[in-house]
Amino acid sequence: MVQQFVTFRVDGRLLGLAIDQVREINRVLDIVPVRRSADYVRGVMNLRGQVVVVLDLGARLGLGPMTIGPGSHNVLLKQEEVALLVDEIGDVVEVEPPALSPPPANLGGIAGEFIQEVAKLPDGLLAVLDVAKVLG
Amino acid sequence: MAGAVDEALLKDFVLDSHEHLNAVEPDLLAMESGGCVSPEAIHRILRAVHSIKGFSTFLGFDPLTDLGHAMENILTLMRDGRLAPHTEVVDALLAGIDRLQVMLRDIQAGETIAPCPETSRLESLLAEVELSPTGSHQCTLDGSPVLEAPSGRVTLRVDGGEALGAAEFTVERSEVARAEADGRSLFALWIDPEHDLSARGVSPESFRANLESIGQVLAADQATDQAGWRHWLLASLISDPELLAAAVEVPPQRIHPVAYSGQPTPAAEPPAVAEPPAPRRGAVKLRVAGRGELDTLELVVERRQVELAVQGIHCLYAVWVHRERDLAAAGRSLDQLQQAVASVGRVLAVDPDGPGPWRHLLAASKIREPDTVSLAYELPGAQVVQLPSQVLRQALGTAAPAQAAEPAQPEAPAETKTPSKTAEPEAPAGQPSPPAITAAPETIRVGVPLVDRLINLAGELVLSRNQLKLLMAGGDGGQGAVERVIQTVDLVTSELQEHIMQLRMQPVGRLFNRFPRLVRDLARRLNKEVELEIHGGEVELDKSILEQLTDPLTHLVRNSVDHGLESPQQRRALGKPPAGRMVLRAFHQEGQVHITLSDDGAGIDPERVAARALEAGLVTPEEVQAMSSGEKVNLVTRPGLSTAEQVNDLSGRGVGMDVVSTNLAKVGGHLHIDTRPGEGTTMLLRLPLTLAIIPSLIIGTGGQVFAIPQADVRELVRVRADQASERIEKVGDAPVLRLRERLLPLVRLSRLLGLASYYTDPASGGQQPDRRVRLADRRHGLDYDPEAPEPEPPRERRAGSERRRRFAGDINVVVLRLGANRYGLVVDELFDTEEIVVKPLARHLKESGCYSGTTIMGDGRVAMILDAAGMARQAGLRFSRIAAREARRRERARQERAAARRKTRSVVLFSCAANQYFAVPLASVAHLEKVAVQDIEPVAGGECIQYRGTGLPLLRLEKFLPVKAISSKATHLFVIIPRGPTPVAGIAAAQVVDILDTDVALRPYRGPVPGLAGIAPLRRRLTLFINMEELLATFVDQA
């Protein structure tokens, strides 16, 4: 069965999430920092009256804190009222199961534990994130 | 059937039932405490139980129905005045209510419910009442009808129908009761002396003897009545009239069972009937299908016996006896078999002959082990089957003979409790498994007026919106019209919010109502007497707060009864009334709900708490020393501390008080303990009205906005920049603010949260980022030296000398309340108080420990809600240390004040000999006279001077005190005349040195000397202070 992934980039790396795990993608970047919380908690934002925690995906994956730029977006998850801050949004890609393989111990500086599987795309490798791990 | 019960119905049932139960409890309590039974109360309870039972029957929850039924029975007796509300009865009822609640919860959780011991308790109580009419339970014994006869006798009237006429027996009530207690049945016999006895050559005496062999003759007519009958009242173990008829050789028509409750049964059927005898009223046909080779047993037993079995008074056994194997082969008859088992029980019914090989017995026994019974019968175990109470209950439930018990099929005869298939054909299995309503959303009952109001408000809102739309679409009216609409929207929104909040509000009485019961139970178990007063049950609290409050408050009440209140003996010894007094009160204060629980018990001994805390290793001795007594008392909220002398099953396990504080903190509440050892304790719980929307103080720090729940805020203090250096000091490394003679530990929010904080380099004067992020990292700590100015640039400039000791701008301190402690939060800016909508704290934000929630401000940005307790913890505040400093300071102040209070006295300083000084209070001196020595007249035993025309004796101090005398060379003396209408004597002095004010403290002289108050240095001279009164008294004594 063909699987669909939402792709995005953090620190230049191509990452993806299964499409059914993503609620929405937005550009609400008025993020209020929450001090004394984990370093990968970017802050909280008001999403249509709901308070949503934004995680700094760069910090979370060990790539270092991100800076908000023109391409920054929030990927809002379905599983929990949490958004992941990403540098750039890519496409929705379709991947045939044979193109999927288990993750290596480390993929471009990202610890393998955060990666569920790796998909071979024509233009490179897509690291599909393990949402549960990323949420901690 | 079970599947057909829809969830909505179940929910309704559970909800309704809970409501009924809540309404009932105060009545039950009132009933017991009042001693007298208000018919309304009983009626209410009865109605509630009845409603629950009715609904439950409908849904098929048999155990619940049974329990309800049992409670109903008891209540009916009470209503009819046949049962007084004894403690025992009320306890049983309360236990029943408890059980009902448990069952309801189980039903709600989708679990099956099982028959409960409470039912049998109630039933045995009922049985007891019915069995012991003369006992402590007052009840009437029903004959038909009952006529009260004098001296404990009852008259039973039995109607034998047209042919026989009525029989009347007057018997001892106790005899009837005993007969029934023994399980005997009463029979009325109509005997025709001529036909029944004489014709058969039976004398009345031998007839009586015959009767006595199978029972007890309770009454017998000495003469025949008009119709020619003589009546006998027989109590017999034989319960079957037919059997009895056969035994006594009297036509069965002339034997009528006498029912104790209800009418006597109609004339008995002829004994020999081909069909199984139709069960009569008061009799139950039991049919038990045997397993394996056993055939179906069908016997009629007295209903009463079945009821007793259902109540667990005894067990019923179905016994199969094989004609050949068990009787003929063993060489015994059925009768002999019956005799053999007299020790284990008695045979209720027997089926002595029949076509098959099996003979049947129904026996009642107190022995609950079928194996034991079968052994006693010398029968194979498989042939003795205990009848489960469910089967019996069904047999009872089917009143109509036609529906008499369906086959009860014990799975394996040796097995005792296996419930068999139910009687009703449409019922699939024994216990209908109710559909689960797991995770049922909570529901709130709302009054219709409130709903109506909300609908109206919603309508108004829609109208306003339409108006706005119109205006926006370019309608006329202009600015003024928009404003008017906005105003309406504003009003409607506020009202809407208020009313919606009301939906969640519930009276605390719901929670309070449980406490009379709890206190009563506890007091009984602890042999204490407690009077509980409840006030303010109508005060409303948010539902979720109320729920969170249940455990803490219950614990506090328990503690109070268990540890707080003394036993009646102790109380009497202390001169207190034997009954302890507890007051539970709720009231509004400062926009919060306060709940106080006061008792007049022993109070909490701070030292004992501290000692326990030390023992438990919760605190160090140093910490204890530094604590105020209030702080020591508050140690009880630490986990793992219990002050109970002994641990019992109620409290004292060292958990609880910490649960109290944690649970309270969860809902934004505070606990404050106020105790006076020996006099009592008051626990004050401060609670927010609601959790969803709370008034909060909005503050700003480091460019971010935060909210602090108003309930945590005690006051706002602004320390002027030029006062900062003197009002803010350090205890250890921690900064404290001197506030009205108290020391307030300070936490700087910017430091705590690591928000923009700068310090000025003292050398260069330039601003640099402060690398210290955590306040807990206290190498420099939060100090108010110039190294740590506010992040914003100084607003005003000051003289150079002040520059190094000042702040840039005033310091805003929010004084936060934390239980008994307080601390100050230093913030950049103070904004308004706003009502904020609380959003729960997301999982990822919890670990910071500083926040209790989030909210969205008017500008759409998210603001964190600060948690007073969490911040104090994160900042590592050490209240005990501050308190120690404060205590020392207070002590110093107290000493100073005491010194100031000490009276400064004016004294006359005089001397008699060189270097010997005396002082007398000026207040006791009337006059100083200078007299020439030659004017002193010797009189008998002394000297005299002329004073105001009379002789005044002269008192020389050396005669009374260990002092030197006045030099004989002196030409003049000074005489100190004491104050008073007629002075006793004047004191001789060589010289009056001075009159001066002093507050010097006297030290006692070596040993007590009458007339000497003490010594003290005065003007660097050791001075003897004279007690004028004492001195003069001594003088008079000697004179």
Q: Which residue in A33, A41, A50 is closest to B844 by CB distance?
A: A41
Residue predicted with more confidence, A67 or B807: A67
Residue B642: per-residue pLDDT: 56
Please confirm whether the linkage preceding B145 is cis (ω < 30° from 0).
yes
CA B756 from chain centre, in angstroms, equals 50
Angle between helices B173-181 and B117-131 (to 10 degrees): 140
- In this prediction, residue B774 has a pLDDT band, given cuts at 50, 70 and 90, of very low
In which region does residue B941 sit, left (phi positive, over 0), alpha (psi from -120 to 50) or beta (all else)? left
- In this prediction, residue B256 has a pLDDT band, given cuts at 50, 70 and 90, of confident
Q: Report A:80-99 residues touching B (Cβ under 8 A).
A: 80-82
Name which of B694, B507, B673, B686 is nearest B589 in CA terms: B686
Residue A84: per-residue pLDDT: 94
Q: What residues of B are in contact with residue A35 (Cβ under 8 Å)?
A: 753-755, 848, 850
* Per-position DSSP letters for B855-877, written without gaps between them: EE-TTS-EEEEE-HHHHHHHTT-
Q: What tokens were used for B329?
A: 């082969």
DSSP secondary structure letter of residue B1016: E
* Mean pLDDT of the B842-858 span: 86
CB contact A15 to B (< 8 Å):
no
CB contact A36 to B (< 8 Å):
yes
Residue B4: per-residue pLDDT: 44
Residues 6 or more apart in contact with residue B124 via CB below 8 angstroms: B311, B312, B313
Distance CA B776, CA B874 (A): 7
Which residue in chain B is spatially nearest to A81 when comparing CA positions? B842
Q: Which residue in B704, B754, B848 is closest to A32 by CB distance?
A: B704
Distance CA B794, CA B798 (A): 10
Distance CA B254, CA B266 (A): 11
Question: Computed from CA positions of residues B848, B853, B858, B860, in that sequence, does the dihedral angle turn out positive or negative?
Answer: positive
Question: Which of A28, A30, A34, A47 is the mutation pick for testing B, counting most B CBs within 10 A?
Answer: A34
Helix and strand element counts for chain B (H, E)? 28, 44
Q: What residues of A are in contact with residue B750 (Cβ under 8 Å)?
A: none
Residue A83: per-residue pLDDT: 94
- For residue B438, pLDDT over 50 is answered with no
Q: Are B312 and B389 in contact (CB under 8 A)?
A: yes
- For residue B988, pLDDT over 80 is answered with yes
Contacts 24+ apart (CB under 8 A), A127-134: A127/A13, A127/A14, A127/A15, A127/A16, A127/A103, A128/A5, A128/A15, A128/A16, A128/A17, A128/A18, A128/A100, A129/A15, A129/A16, A129/A17, A131/A17, A131/A21, A131/A77, A131/A79, A132/A79, A134/A55, A134/A57, A134/A60, A134/A61, A134/A84
Residue B698: per-residue pLDDT: 94
Residue B639: per-residue pLDDT: 62
> Which residues in chain A come in under a pLDDT of 70?
none
**CB–CB of A34 and B839 under 8 A?**
no
- For residue B328, pLDDT over 60 is answered with yes
Mean pLDDT of chain B: 74
User: Which CATH class for the A3-135 domain?
Assistant: mainly beta
Q: What percent of chain B has pLDDT over 70?
A: 77
| Helix (H), strand (E) at residue B1021 | strand B1021-1026
**CB–CB of A32 and B847 under 8 A?**
no
pTM, entire model: 0.43
- In this prediction, residue B788 has a pLDDT band, given cuts at 50, 70 and 90, of very low
The SS3 assignment for A136 reads coil
Q: What tokens were used for B808?
A: 């840039």
- For residue B699, pLDDT over 90 is answered with yes
Name which of B504, B491, B487, B486 is nearest B693 in CA terms: B504
Say how many C-beta atoms besides its own lie within 10 A of residue B141's C-beta: 18
- In this prediction, residue B37 has a pLDDT band, given cuts at 50, 70 and 90, of low
Q: What tokens were used for B833?
A: 């108080």
Residue B775: per-residue pLDDT: 32
* Per-position DSSP letters for B789-811, written without gaps between them: --SSPPSS---HHHHTT--SS-E
Identity of residue B294: L
Distance CA A100, CA A91 (A): 18
Distance CA B848, CA B867 (A): 10
The beta strand positions in B857-967, using DSSP E, are 862-866, 905-911, 917-921, 925-932, 937-939, 942-947, 950-955
**CB–CB of B844 and A30 under 8 A?**
no
Q: Which residue in A32, A46, A53 is closest to B844 by CB distance?
A: A53
- For residue B382, pLDDT over 70 is answered with yes
Residue B94: per-residue pLDDT: 80
Q: What residues of B are in contact with residue A51 (Cβ under 8 Å)?
A: 839, 842, 854-856, 862
Backbone angles phi, psi at B488, to 5 degrees: -60, -45
Burial of B1006 (0-12, 13-18, 19+ CB in 10 A): exposed
* Mean pLDDT of the B934-942 span: 82
- For residue B473, pLDDT over 90 is answered with no
* Per-position DSSP letters for B404-443, written without gaps between them: --PPB--SSTT--S-----S-TT--SSSPPPPP-TTPPP-
Enumerate the H helices of B530-656 as residue ranges.
Answer: 543-559, 568-573, 606-615, 621-625, 629-634
In this predicted complex, what is the ipTM?
0.91
Distance CA B271, CA B880 (A): 93
Question: Computed from CA positions of residues B645, B648, B652, B653, in that sequence, does the dihedral angle turn out positive or negative?
Answer: positive
pLDDT single digits (tens) B874-884: 888 877 777 77
Residue B653: per-residue pLDDT: 38
Residue A17: per-residue pLDDT: 93
* Mean pLDDT of the B238-259 span: 75
Q: What percent of chain B has pLDDT over 90?
A: 4
Residues 6 or more apart in contact with residue B173 via CB below 8 angstroms: B133, B134, B141, B152, B153, B154
The beta strand positions in B630-727, using DSSP E, are 670-676, 680-688, 693-701, 704-709, 713-719
Most confident of B90-94, B253-257, B483-487, B642-646: B483-487
Which residue in chain A is spatially nearest to B846 when comparing CA positions? A37
Name which of B599, B616, B598 is nearest B654 in CA terms: B616
A44-48, B66-70, B217-221: least confident range? B217-221
Q: What residues of A are in contact with residue B860 (Cβ under 8 Å)?
A: 30, 46
CB contact B849 to A (< 8 Å):
yes
* Per-position DSSP letters for A50-119, written without gaps between them: EEEEEEEHHHHTTS------TT-EEEEESSSSEEEEESEEEEEEEE-GGGEEPPPSEETTEEGGGEEEEE
Give CA angle at B815 (B811, B818), nearest 5°.
150
Neighbouring C-alpha atoms within 13 Å toward the C-beta of B604: 28
Residue A43: per-residue pLDDT: 92
Say how many C-beta atoms besides its own lie within 10 A of residue B39's C-beta: 10
B129-133, B252-256, B990-994: least confident range? B129-133
CB contact A132 to B (< 8 Å):
no
Rounded-to-10 torsion of CA B560, B566, B571, B576: -10
The beta strand positions in B702-770, using DSSP E, are 704-709, 713-719, 728-731, 734-739, 742-748, 758-760, 767-769
The SS3 assignment for B295 reads coil
The SS3 assignment for B157 reads strand
**CB–CB of A82 and B842 under 8 A?**
yes
Sheet order of strands, B384-386 included: B346-351, B358-365, B315-322, B384-386
**CB–CB of A36 and B874 under 8 A?**
yes
Q: How many CB pairs under 8 A join A and B?
A: 62
